[in-house]
Structure 1
Amino acid sequence: MAEHSEAPHVVGGVDTHKDLHVAAVVDHQDRVLGVESFPTTRHGYRLMLTWMRSFDDLQRIGIECSGSYGAGLLRYMQAAGVEVLEVTAPDKHDRRRRGKNDHFDAESAAHAAFAERHTVTPRSRDGMVESLRVLRVCRKTAVQARRIALQMIQTTIVCAPDRLRDPLRQMTRMQLIRTLAAWRPDLTAYREVEEAYRISLKSLARRYLELHDEIADLDDMIKAIVKDLAPVLLEQTAIGLNSAAQLLLTAGDNPERLRPEASFAALCGVSPVPASSGKTVRHRLNRGGDRLNRGGDRAANSAIHIIAIGRLRLDPRTQAYVAKRIAAGNSKLEAIRSLKRYIAREVFGIIIRRQNQINQSQIAA
């Protein structure tokens, strides 16, 4: 192993930006060999990889922001068979000492990748989980836009002339939307207040209906992907479509990077950490995530909390478990904390087994 570690090689680091990536290379003794800039195009990625390999055997690359500006570079390097690490945080001491510019950031990424500190294995972004993520982001913005459209309809009706407002008072939401969408205002009379209100309300109602249909279509696609990725997950008590989708996103297309499963629990913010003092011996939830995500995944934590509360209401085994923990002297919150940890273990096991099945079927094909 010592001879292998001393073999000549180089390690790359990349500071990513929208239009230009800055790359640095260090040798097997962590000395900077060069810094260069490349465009954020496929041709630029190819030039970067060729440039890095021109120094020596390229062992790995550290990339900042692999989930945003560096996503394209990540996919290219993974397709080229290069080991990629995501650099999660710059060295604050080094930044205070040297200052900040793109060259320093690229060198810091290379040093971090060389030492494998402040680095994690990034999510791969070439599978169905990435498709699920993109569709859920689109759905979230559509839901927000639909909510805004409804709020604007309600606000506009409050200010509308009485002749328009009075017939709309007793309608349900969808009755109101469909009534407004069916209006036929005089588009040539937009200078008149009443017609301007009619045009505005009709436009907002049609916008709401279009977004409503868009969200329904996205829901069908998201449900189909979740069923393909983890049908067993949806069969478990109190695990709904949204919770299952979020936990799949947290695990990613390559959940094996989170082994052991305690890393997944820590990422979800449900791993226990000691919180004892004096004669009191207890644990609390680790809200800070782990080395894979310093801030933790709040959405995953919320999904596991929803599952836990649902099982407390619906699952006799969960009710018996919590009652047992309370009888043993734990508070209800501590019992729920333990329950969340078990849910994280259960979910991760299901996701890993399904991922192994998908990988085996791909190999067989």
Structure 2
Amino acid sequence: MTVIGIDAHKRTHTLVAVDDLGRKLGERTVVATDEGHLRAVEWAGQWPQVSFAVEDCRHMTRRLERDLLRAGHRVVRVHTRLMAAARRSGRQRGKSDPIDAEAVALAALREPDLPVAHLDGPTRQVKLLSDHRHDLVVERTKLCGRLRWHLHELDPELQVPSRGLRRYRVIDELAARLADLDGTVARIARDLLVRCRELTVQINALERELRDLVEDLGPTLLAIPGLGVLGAAMILGETAGAARFKSKHAYARFNGTAPIPVWSGNKVRVRLNRGGNRTVNTALHMAAVTQTRGIGPGKEYVDKLINSGKTKTEALRLLRRRLSDRVFTALLTDERACQPTDRPACAAASSAHTATHLQPLPVAA
């Protein structure tokens, strides 16, 4: 098996091929376009068995992975940490595109269980919409803070309810009060209020769209107590297919709910994992906190742990891990049930995905 490591950049991709013993076989640099990707596939054709390894930075390698997968090649993703370790242990010192590409290939040889890339499915639409909604919420929060300072300057006795600037009634009442005021501050406040209303309309529309997608793609996931539409959307978008994980333990390591072993000798100890996918971890935490308030079986489980000597924080972490296992099972169930011929949303997303990503590669002149 020949492994081709790729160091990807905006304008060029550098490829280095190594054999199964780690010996360098060849090097090539191509432009970061569809034509350049075709040249990379043609160059790799000189070896009978080829596997590609790319650094795990999908904002940079998404189009490259797509073209390689469409050409029928296997593509694995190498975490930056693994690539850096391979580069430090290499014979050639320094840092360059060929050195990095060779480090990616060597890391792929050393690590047998790297994530395997797949063509984007319907869950990518959920991730894009969820991320876009989050960005709009962050923008609205920043805008509301500035608006409140201007309102305080105009009328210190004006009381705006907490989170009231996301409600249409409160926005309309403030707009009526500001309509008769003169001055630059009042003008800026009116402009900010208009923008706040626009953002609220967009955020609410995105939430409704996400609700329809999540109800169709993840009904079992959505049925977990404490997990709402937005939390389920975060999990669906970030997981990008639960079948790519070999077990519930691997999924727990992915989302940061699996503790890290830190023991030596007879006493087994672990510490909190502060890594992993923090977006999925946040969704699991929100579901755990909701369950501790009496929605679902989490409260009884946490009370039992506290009575046995655990702190509330420790009990919440254990509940998050239990929820991770349940979420993993629900994701697998929904993925098996979500067939394009059975579910309208899956069919529509799958059709759009096929039309966008499964066109044949261009033929070289």
TM-score, scaled relative to structure 1: 0.80
Is the 8 Å Cα contact of residues 77 and 115 (structure 2) preserved in structure 1?
A: yes
The AA in structure 2 aligned to 1:60 is S
Shift of 1:242: 2.2
Cα 1:326/1:206, change in 2 over 3 Å: closer
Residue 15 of structure 1 aligns to a residue whose secondary structure is: strand
Match of 2:300 among 320, 326, 331: 320
Shift of 1:125: 5.1
Residue 70 of structure 1 aligns to a residue whose secondary structure is: helix
Unpaired runs of 5+ in structure 2?
A: 348-365
Is the 8 Å Cα contact of residues 262 and 271 (structure 1) preserved in structure 2?
A: yes
Residue 68 of structure 1 aligns to a residue whose secondary structure is: helix
1: CA distance between counterparts of 2:98 and 2:252?
36
* Matched pairs, number: 334
The AA in structure 1 aligned to 2:29 is S
1:205-224 map, 5 Å? 205-224=193-212
Shift of 1:69: 0.4
* Map of 1:44 onto structure 2: 36
* Map of 1:141 onto structure 2: 135
- Measured against aligned partners, the alpha-carbon deviations of 1:90-122 in whole angstroms (never above 9, x if no partner) come to 2252479511011111121222223336x7214
2: CA distance between counterparts of 1:280 and 1:340?
24
* Map of 2:253 onto structure 1: 266
1: CA distance between counterparts of 2:57 and 2:65?
6
* Map of 1:189 onto structure 2: none
Shift of 1:27: 3.1
Could you say which structure has the larger radius of gyration? Answer: 1
Is the 8 Å Cα contact of residues 66 and 122 (structure 1) preserved in structure 2?
A: no
Q: Determine whether 1:341 maps to 2:321.
A: yes
The AA in structure 2 aligned to 1:311 is Q
1: CA distance between counterparts of 2:35 and 2:296?
59
* Map of 2:158 onto structure 1: 169
Identity %: 29
Cα 1:320/1:200, change in 2 over 3 Å: closer
Cα 1:283/1:132, change in 2 over 3 Å: same
Residue 169 of structure 1 aligns to a residue whose secondary structure is: coil
Cα 1:158/1:125, change in 2 over 3 Å: farther
* Map of 2:104 onto structure 1: 109
* Map of 1:63 onto structure 2: 54
* Map of 1:129 onto structure 2: 123
TM-score, scaled relative to structure 2: 0.80
Is the 8 Å Cα contact of residues 135 and 222 (structure 1) preserved in structure 2?
A: yes
Q: Determine whether 1:356 maps to 2:336.
A: yes
Cα RMSD, aligned residues only:
3.2
Residue 60 of structure 1 aligns to a residue whose secondary structure is: strand
Segment of structure 1 superposing worse, 303-312 or 150-159: 150-159
* Map of 1:157 onto structure 2: 151
- Measured against aligned partners, the alpha-carbon deviations of 1:304-357 in whole angstroms (never above 9, x if no partner) come to 222222222215743333343344444444433332222111110010111122
* Map of 1:233 onto structure 2: 221
- Measured against aligned partners, the alpha-carbon deviations of 1:12-39 in whole angstroms (never above 9, x if no partner) come to 1111111211112223443222222222
* Map of 1:203 onto structure 2: 191
The AA in structure 2 aligned to 1:303 is A
Is the 8 Å Cα contact of residues 66 and 74 (structure 1) preserved in structure 2?
A: no
Cα 1:125/1:169, change in 2 over 3 Å: farther
2: CA distance between counterparts of 1:250 and 1:323?
31
Match of 1:257 among 244, 254, 259: 244
The AA in structure 1 aligned to 2:64 is L
Is the 8 Å Cα contact of residues 182 and 202 (structure 1) preserved in structure 2?
A: no
Match of 1:78 among 69, 86, 98: 69
The AA in structure 2 aligned to 1:11 is V
Q: Determine whether 1:300 maps to 2:284.
A: no
Is the 8 Å Cα contact of residues 18 and 40 (structure 1) preserved in structure 2?
A: yes
Segment of structure 1 superposing worse, 337-346 or 256-265: 337-346
The AA in structure 2 aligned to 1:301 is N
